[in-house]
Amino acid sequence: MGSTSAIEWTEATWNPVTGCTKVSPGCAHCYAEALTLRFHMGGRYLPGEAVIQTRPERLSLPTKWREPRMIFVNSMADLFHQEVPTEFIQQVFDVMAANPRHTFQVLTKRHERLAELSESLPFPSNVWVGVSVENQVWAKRRIPALRQVPAAVRFLSCEPLLGPLDLTGLLDGVHWVIAGGESGARARKANPDWVRDLRDACSAGQVPFFFKQWGGRTSKAGGRELDGLYWSEMPVERAVSVS
């Protein structure tokens, strides 16, 4: 399954894995869970019955996209979930390496497995790797693991932002920060000062900052302006078309 995406910081999604389990507070109101239960999109997120499924028939999808795309890998799952076989993760990375015209964005909450496997995986410049950081507790755990990964672009997704983040000493080796509030019927509201602090820390550290949304009942409900401006900074590194 793959499609164009309404997510502001990417252009398309590619889901060679479906299904997930909750691992930290940011997962509580998971949008992928809601979409799966509503539209039967593959994989299950039932209480106590999550089913992780690899989708080998989807591995070739990026090869069929002729025009260069920014691709969010596994928007509906976590590639580094403990139930995804290492061999399948390797296959996903092989596909990304074989398609240098695309830029692939891999985001995980399983920082320990990411760090564990990073030495054995290829990290060409078109593969960006990020970790979700929803509060200070997970910032201190996930960011040091991310910094061990030999990716050309390492990024943070501070979404849903559930508390203030002090990134002092943690932005070294990080190339991009995304922030955003939660959306959905039970959305937890992000304090504007938390977002401003992130913006200012990125500015001071010369790290590109992308503010995705304030959130609310829908992802677009609160807009995405911060102090009257749109923050849509991106890393300089990006794959280019290869003939």
Q: How many domains does the chain have?
A: 1
C-alpha–C-alpha distance, residues 172 and 13, integer Å: 28
* 121 assigned to some structural domain: yes
Burial zone of 226 (CB within 10 Å; 0-12 exposed, 13-18 middle, 19+ buried):
middle
* 240 assigned to some structural domain: no
* 179 assigned to some structural domain: yes
pLDDT of residue 162: 98
* 162 assigned to some structural domain: yes
> Mean pLDDT, consecutive 10-residue segments, the chain of 243 residues?
82 94 91 60 52 94 97 96 97 98 98 97 97 98 97 97 97 97 94 98 97 94 96 77 31
* 239 assigned to some structural domain: no
pLDDT of residue 239: 45
- Full domain range(s) for residue 159: 2-230
* 237 assigned to some structural domain: no
pLDDT of residue 142: 98
The C-alpha angle 181, 11, 85, rounded to 5 degrees, equals 85
* 236 assigned to some structural domain: no
pLDDT of residue 242: 33
pLDDT of residue 37: 58
Q: What is the CATH number of the domain that holds 8?
A: 3.80.30
pLDDT of residue 190: 96
* 9 assigned to some structural domain: yes
pLDDT of residue 50: 58
pLDDT of residue 42: 52
pLDDT of residue 29: 84
